[in-house]
Amino acid sequence: MLRRGWFLPIAAVLGFAFLYAPIVSLVLFSFNENRLVTVWTGFSLKWYGELFRDPQMINAAILSLQIAAIAATIALVLGTLAAVALVRFRRFRGRTLFSGMVSAPLVMPDVITGLSLLLLFVAMESMLGWPQGRGILTIVIAHATFCTAYVCVVVQSRLSDFDRSLEEAAMDLGASPVRTFFDITLPIIAPALVSGWLLGFTLSLDDLVIASFVSGPGSSTLPMVIFSKVRLGVSPDVNALATIIIGIVAIGVLIATIIQLRARPKKARA
Amino acid sequence: MAKKPQLAIDTRPWRDSANNKPFVRIRNVTKKFGDVSAVHDVSLDIYRSELFCLLGGSGSGKSTLLRMLAGFETPTSGIIEIDGQDMTDVPPYNRPVNMMFQSYALFPHMSVEQNIAYGLKRDHLPKAEIDARVAELLALVKLQDYGKRKPHQLSGGQRQRVALARALAKRPKLLLLDEPLGALDKKLREETQFELVKIQEQLGVTFIVVTHDQEEAMTLATRIGVMNQGEIAMIGEPTDIYEFPNSRFVAGFIGSVNMVEGTVTEDEPDHVRIRSAELGCDIYVGHGVDCAPDQILWWAIRPEKMALSREKPENPFNANVTTGIVEEIAYLGDISVYQVALESGKRIRVSQTNNVRGNPDAITWDEQVFVTWDDNAGSVLTV
């Protein structure tokens, strides 16, 4: 047993500092008046104003949000189907393989995923003529691919706690299988679907590496624009943008967590 | 203890199966999961307004049989008829049958009222009628003030009653109950048994109850079907099952029993004599048995059907008396169970009513005692 002393508090402070100091400094400097990122001269919101006057940034942001929303939705459908297959059909030929393949993108380095998708799209274009070139469509497909894995994991855990007799009870009371799905199954797994979607949305919004591989001219996502801007030197409006994104992501994660937490105790007691 | 439905002889239709049409007919039903037969060639008739218990250990196939009646499983072969209609391939949502689940399966996102109304809404009844029916059911299960609550805000006993009300809402012809009292504690269980029987009598619905608890089956049932390894081992009224078991399995499964092996030495139309080395004496059975001389068979007797004494009792047939040493005594308040070690090393259990308060003269440990029984007290079993 460790004695209560100075070690644990200091370790905790250092740990949090290591994780969050860069983010805090970024947020602080987004309100800096000076053009030099590292020199604090006074509070100002001018970089936020600057940001909203930059059409390249704004367009990229809108594009990223659209891609994230579509990719998360596709991933939600596919991931839920995969989770249902894995949980409901305990034994089928190739189950282990399927389960492994579904969750593989979780541990696959982005570079590999991006590169392999790029090669696939190029090959498909030359053989099938589809997808034509690379752009929004290919980014959506790529993002949906890896988000599916996350959705599947989240929904799977919820489904495996699901009491099958609830569905049987509904059918016993005269509900058809479709009716049962909408009346019983969907409301009960809804929290997992919402948090799966939000997770997919945030991951897609975040992604730089995969998008860089599979995007084409005129389809630069927000992370790509930021990355290219930063290479030319860090400008303070990037800080402002980053602060906004951190805010959105934090709110998203918070909502997902709250929904999951509120769903848990109810089920535990019911 | 719950009261059993008191039926006059003429309301026991199974005693006159030639003139009564069964309500549920299960004909040669087999269910296989892969190579394993969960239910094997079961045939069973259940009559209207019966409270029939399917009793068996885990893996005996009782739940699978119930699930086939509900429609959640389809028989591999055989026919299930309910009220004269073939139900074998009818999906659960089209059957005139409702089920009360072991886990209750209350919908967690709906209130008590919504849970009970769910089945009625599926029938598209007018709202006023649904409301009236829900109120009526809440009154039936004494939960009038709990309609707006969610299932997780109820106690175990209350949930059990909501599940019962929901299952009764559509006025099913047949109600299936899967371990209806399994999740309740002992005291609540006894009260609920009573209520369950009362509701069943009041509504006249046919109940089929699955249970592993023999006491529950004995108290509730008009008839019991004992299941073993996917087959029906015996069907009968509780007294038949307990007093006249048809096999060693049934004798051993219900209640406690002393079972010994013996050889037939006399086989007469009015009596049978069995020599048992295990018991150390002859067994004189006061009625004819379908057996042959020198046949090896088993004889089973309930602990309460034997008597203990210090002096050797009379034995007119030179049988039905053996002796041993009291090895253990289990004092249960109303009765005491004595474990007596016979000379052969066989241990038998004898229970005696404690009808004298704090009896100082009671038989005690390490005493030599004589054990005796009536010539019709035991069952002769050939399988």
Q: What is the pLDDT of residues A148-180, one digit of tens each?
A: 999 999 999 888 888 889 999 999 999 999 999
Q: Quick one: pLDDT band at residue A132, thresholds 50, 70, 90? A: confident
Q: What is the pLDDT of residues B272-300, one digit of tens each?
A: 999 999 998 999 998 888 888 888 999 99
pLDDT(B228) > 80: yes
**Which residues fall within 8 angstroms of residue B33, CB to CB, at 6 or more apart?**
none
Residue A36's pLDDT is 78
What is the number of CB-based contacts under 8 A between chain A and chain B?
Answer: 70
Cα(B173)–Cα(A40) distance, rounded to whole angstroms? 81
Total number of domains constituting chain A: 1
pLDDT(B189) > 90: no
With an 8 Å Cβ cutoff, is B92 touching chain A? Answer: yes
Please, what is the angle between helix B127-140 and helix B112-122, to 10°? 130
Residue B124's pLDDT is 92
- Collapsed DSSP state (helix, strand, coil) of residue B72: coil
pLDDT(B380) > 60: yes
Tokens standing for residue B317: 């047939």
pLDDT(A270) > 60: no
Residue A268's pLDDT is 45
Residue A245 inside a domain? The answer is yes
Q: Of the ranges A233-247, B29-43, B315-329, which one carries the lowest mean pLDDT score?
A: A233-247
Q: Of the ranges A240-249, B72-81, B241-250, which one carries the lowest mean pLDDT score?
A: A240-249
**Secondary structure E strands in B199-320:** 206-211, 223-228, 231-236, 258-267, 272-276, 281-285, 296-301, 306-309
Query: Considering only CA atoms, which of B122, B83, B130 is closest in space to residue A183?
Result: B122
CATH code of A184's domain: 1.10.3720.10
Residue A1's pLDDT is 52
Residue A178 inside a domain? The answer is yes
Q: Cβ separation of A166 and B91 shorter than 8 Å?
A: no
- Collapsed DSSP state (helix, strand, coil) of residue A43: strand
Domains of chain B: 9-96+172-251 (3.40.50.300), 256-381 (2.40.50.140)
Residue A265's pLDDT is 52
Q: Cβ separation of B105 and A188 shorter than 8 Å?
A: no
Chain B residues closer than 8 Å to A183 by CB: 118
Residue B18's pLDDT is 74
Which of the residues B97, B104, B109, B133 would you substitute to probe the A interface, choosing the one with the greatest number of A C-beta atoms within 10 Å?
Answer: B109
Q: Quick one: pLDDT band at residue B170, thresholds 50, 70, 90? A: very high
Residue B54's pLDDT is 95
Torsion B11-B17-B18-B22 (CA) sign: positive
Residue A38 inside a domain? The answer is no
pLDDT(B8) > 70: no
- Residue/partner pairs of B289-293 with CB below 8 Å, 24 or more apart: B289/B380, B290/B382, B291/B264, B291/B267, B291/B380, B291/B382, B292/B264, B292/B267, B293/B264, B293/B265, B293/B266, B293/B267
Q: Cβ separation of A174 and B70 shorter than 8 Å?
A: no
Q: What is the pLDDT of residues B250-267, one digit of tens each?
A: 999 988 999 999 999 988
Residue A263's pLDDT is 66
More confident residue, B16 or B203: B203
Cα(A252)–Cα(A246) distance, rounded to whole angstroms? 10
Chain A residues closer than 8 Å to B119 by CB: 173-174
Residue A44 inside a domain? The answer is no
Residue A17 inside a domain? The answer is no
Which of the residues A90, A166, A172 would you substitute to probe the B interface, choosing the one with the greatest number of B C-beta atoms within 10 Å?
Answer: A172
Q: Quick one: pLDDT band at residue B11, thresholds 50, 70, 90? A: low
Amino acid at B264: V
Residue A195's pLDDT is 87
Residue A247 inside a domain? The answer is yes
Residue A48 inside a domain? The answer is no
Q: Cβ separation of A173 and B107 shorter than 8 Å?
A: no
Strand partners of residue A199: none
Q: Quick one: pLDDT band at residue A269, thresholds 50, 70, 90? A: very low
More confident residue, B149 or A232: B149
Which structural domain range is residue A209 located in?
A: 54-269
Whether the pTM exceeds 0.95: the reply is no
With an 8 Å Cβ cutoff, is B189 touching chain A? Answer: no
Question: How much of chain B exceeds pLDDT 70, in percent?
Answer: 97
Closest chain B CA to residue A164: B105
Closest chain A CA to residue B120: A173
Chain B residues closer than 8 Å to A172 by CB: 70-71, 92-93, 97-99, 167
With an 8 Å Cβ cutoff, is B302 touching chain A? Answer: no
Query: Considering only CA atoms, which of B152, B256, B179 is closest in space to residue A270?
Result: B152
Rg (CA), chain B: 25
